[in-house]
């Protein structure tokens, strides 16, 4: 039954990613914790990080083929973020599980709010990296990578606006470039957690497999529901808020 729940949970995450283009990975942790039934919070974080990385790289190849990735910016941001993810994930392993989940729920609320904000599509499609841009990418990448590693999330809701602010590129290029960082941060975090025995490899494989199938279904649904994308995003944000509140209440109840 746990294997079936892992596949279904992965499918739900993949479907949401394909349907609205982001935010779905934030649900991996509560799904693994409350639906799949992994009790150790640190194992949940490590397993989630691995699944997030795999899903990011799967989606990244499509953007790579489409030529939307700005490689110099993407590599600079990812390199700094990998260091941040290593630091963040090391700190995350030191934090008590209940406190980590409480903080994660607060991050979910921030993600839900960020998804409701309209994204600007402007920017320079021919942007070239300069010393000033590189320094901004390194600074923001280090901070975002640390947050990604600490919570075991993809961090796309921070990476996309971060790359746009640092390099001034259009959102389509920022999304393509960000997926490279999401995958890199996830692999770094998963490796760090795996070294401490905090990855359930079997569940991760099933979650990733479910996510791949769900992503295909979500993408097809997105094509049919393109005009309702904004409404779908609002609905999904509401789901994130509800799950976050549930996690806060449950964590507070268990700590009393």
Q: What tokens were used for 69?
A: 């990735």
Q: How many residues comprise the chain?
A: 256
pTM of the model: 0.83
Work out the percent of the chain whose per-residue pLDDT is above 70: 88
* pLDDT tens-digit readout, 125-169: 788 899 999 999 999 999 999 998 998 887 777 788 888 888 988
**Nearest in space to 207 (alpha carbons), one of 49, 10, 2:** 10
What separation, in Å, do the N-terminal and C-terminal C-alpha atoms of the chain show? 31
* pLDDT tens-digit readout, 6-51: 999 988 887 776 666 556 668 888 999 999 999 999 999 999 999 8
Question: Using 50, 70 and 90 to split pLDDT, how confident is the model at 221?
Answer: confident
Inter-axis angle of helices 2-20 and 41-66, nearest 10: 40
Between residues 99 and 17, the one the model is more confident about? 99
* pLDDT tens-digit readout, 41-87: 999 999 999 988 888 888 788 778 878 889 999 999 999 999 999 99
| CB neighbour burial string for 216-226, b if at least 16 within 10 angstroms, e if fewer | eebbeebeeee
**Which residues lie closer than 8 Å to 16 by C-beta, 6 or more apart?**
23, 24, 27, 214, 218, 236
Please state, in angstroms and rounded to a whole number, the distance separating the CA atoms of residues 174 and 32: 29
Residue 126: predicted pLDDT = 82
Average pLDDT score over the chain:
85
* pLDDT tens-digit readout, 157-190: 778 888 888 898 887 788 778 888 888 999 999 9
């Amino acid at each position: 039954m746990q294997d079936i729940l892992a596949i279904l949970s992965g499918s739900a995450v993949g479907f949401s990613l394909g349907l609205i283009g982001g935010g779905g990975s934030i649900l991996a942790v509560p799904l693994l914790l409350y639906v799949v039934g992994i009790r150790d919070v640190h194992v949940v974080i490590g397993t989630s990080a691995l699944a997030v990385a795999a899903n990011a790289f799967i989606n990244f190849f499509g953007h790579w083929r489409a030529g939307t990735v700005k490689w110099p910016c993407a590599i600079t941001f990812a390199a700094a973020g990998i260091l941040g993810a290593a630091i963040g994930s090391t700190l995350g392993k030191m934090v008590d599980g209940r406190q980590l989940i409480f903080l994660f729920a607060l991050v979910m609320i921030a993600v839900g709010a960020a998804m409701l904000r309209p994204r600007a599509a402007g920017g320079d499609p021919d942007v070239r990296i300069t010393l000033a841009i590189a320094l901004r990418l390194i600074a923001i990448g280090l901070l975002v990578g640390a947050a990604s590693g600490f919570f075991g999330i993809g961090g796309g809701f921070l990476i996309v606006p971060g790359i746009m602010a640092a390099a001034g590129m259009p959102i389509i290029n920022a999304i393509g470039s960000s997926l490279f960082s999401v995958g890199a941060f996830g692999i770094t975090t998963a490796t760090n957690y795996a070294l401490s025995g905090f990855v359930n490899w079997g569940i991760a494989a099933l979650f990733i497999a479910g996510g791949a199938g769900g992503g295909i279904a979500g993408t097809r649904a997105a094509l049919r529901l393109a005009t309702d994308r904004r409404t779908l995003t609002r609905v999904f944000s509401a789901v994130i808020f509800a799950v976050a509140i549930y996690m806060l209440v449950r964590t507070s109840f268990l700590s009393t």
